């Protein structure tokens, strides 16, 4: 699989004239995992939505492998897992239906799944250990199961770029570890992954790059260079103590089962 880069150039995004993200620039290397880190309201979801082309920027642009998102989306290259709050969980669809939505870009207007679509949906559900729950209504799932169902939808889309907005929120430590292992596998397969998370302690265990955000991009680059005490203080406006993060977790990451 050929890996794909993401370039964000001088991006400014506003909601009803109020700027949420200004002058944001960053580069995500093809075939890497990047952790997007920032406080509540710092603009993480806004950045995801702008990369997806859901929000029209006031200034700047986003290039996926050098191409505008509109061109790329026709090929279903970028898959997005939104925050749980963005999903209507009362919508009467099964887990299987949700994952099949990842195949819509490959179907004609009648949306009749082919044998290949059925196979890909099954494989995607099996990869997140959700095949046995395929007939459940999405509203009946636990927080972690909801996240896995939407990750399966992204896998079914066969996007080469995966944008994951807080996939670990409400997920237990065992499931988070299984998801991280899956992300590492997906990177080996050539996917480019941008993931926002509030679990700072696990960043150094799986992210090649870190992007620090507070209404603009404060820093980005190799985790070993960017995930520093000074940069985190700038991002969160406090000390490491406030972040419940030890120096060792910044340097090499040491999240344990008992955390
Ligand atoms: N639909 C919207 N209309 C108006 N303002 C919005 C909208 N969505 C987000 N905002 C504002 O834009 C800013 C950035 O919000 P955003 O959701 O991108 O932050 P975030 O970093 O994803 O936060 P969190 O960690 O809480 O999910 C916030 O001030 C927020 O209030």
- For residues 92 and 123, what is the distance between their CA atoms, to the nearest angstrom? 23
CA dihedral 185, 190, 194, 195 (to 10 degrees): -10
Residues of the domain holding 221: 6-77+159-249
Residue 172 within a domain: yes
Residues 177, 67: one domain? yes
Q: Which two tokens stand for residue 238?
A: 């406090």
In this structure, is residue 180 part of a structural domain?
Answer: yes
- Share of residues in the chain with pLDDT > 90 (%): 71
User: Does a structural domain hold residue 82?
Assistant: no
Residue from 151, 199, 203, 153 nearest 179 by CA: 151
Statement to judge: residues 220 and 154 lie in one domain: no
Is the confidence at residue 244, as pLDDT, over 90? no
- Residues in Cβ contact with 206 at an 8 Å cutoff, skipping those fewer than 6 apart: 33, 180, 183, 184
In 141-195, alpha helices (H): 143-157, 173-188
Q: How many domains does the chain have?
A: 2
pLDDT in tens, 143-197: 889 999 999 999 999 999 999 999 998 888 899 999 999 999 999 999 999 999 9
Residue 234: which residues within 8 A CB-CB, separation 6 or more? 212, 214, 218, 219
Best probe residue, ligand 1, of 8, 16, 19, 20 (max atoms within 8 Å of C-beta): 20
Residues 240 and 116 in one domain: no
If one residue of 42, 82, 214, 217 were mutated to test the ligand 1 pocket, choosing by the most ligand atoms within 8 A of its CB, it would be: 42
Decide: 40 in ligand 1 pocket, CB within 6 A: yes
Residue 57 in any domain: the answer is yes
Distance 84 CA to ligand 1 centre (A): 14
Same domain, residue pair 153 and 199: no
**Ramachandran class of 173: left when φ > 0, alpha when ψ lies in -120 to 50, beta otherwise:** alpha
In-domain check, residue 20: yes
The owner of tokens 């998370």 is 197
CATH number of the domain that residue 194 is part of:
3.40.50.300
- pLDDT tens per residue across span 9-50: 999 999 999 999 999 999 999 999 999 999 999 999 999 999
pLDDT > 60? residue 130 = yes
Q: Is the residue at 86 inside a domain? A: no
Q: What is the per-residue pLDDT for 258?
A: 37
């Amino acid at each position: 699989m050929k890996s794909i880069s993401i370039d964000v150039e001088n991006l400014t995004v506003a909601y009803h004239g109020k700027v949420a993200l200004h002058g944001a620039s960053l580069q995500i290397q093809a075939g890497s995992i990047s952790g997007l880190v920032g406080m509540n309201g710092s603009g993480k979801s806004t950045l995801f939505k702008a990369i997806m082309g859901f929000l029209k920027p006031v200034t700047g642009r986003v290039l996926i492998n050098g191409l505008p998102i509109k061109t790329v989306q026709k090929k279903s290259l970028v898959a997005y897992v939104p925050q749980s709050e963005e999903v209507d969980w009362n919508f009467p669809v099964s887990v299987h239906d949700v994952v099949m939505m990842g195949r819509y870009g490959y179907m004609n207007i009648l949306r009749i799944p082919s044998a290949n679509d059925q196979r890909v949906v099954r494989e995607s559900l099996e990869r997140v250990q959700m095949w046995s729950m395929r007939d459940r209504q999405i509203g009946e799932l636990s927080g972690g199961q909801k996240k896995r169902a939407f990750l399966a939808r992204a896998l079914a889309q066969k996007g080469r770029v995966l944008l994951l907005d807080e996939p670990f929120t409400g997920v237990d430590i065992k499931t988070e570890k299984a998801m991280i292992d899956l992300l590492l596998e997906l990177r080996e397969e050539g996917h480019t992954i941008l993931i926002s998370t509030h679990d700072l302690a696990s960043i150094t265990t799986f992210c090649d790059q870190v992007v620090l955000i507070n209404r603009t991009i404060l820093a980005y680059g190799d985790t070993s260079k960017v995930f520093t005490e000074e940069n985190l203080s700038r991002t969160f406006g406090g000390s490491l103590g406030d972040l419940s993060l030890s120096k060792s977790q910044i340097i090499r990451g040491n999240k344990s089962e008992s955390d």
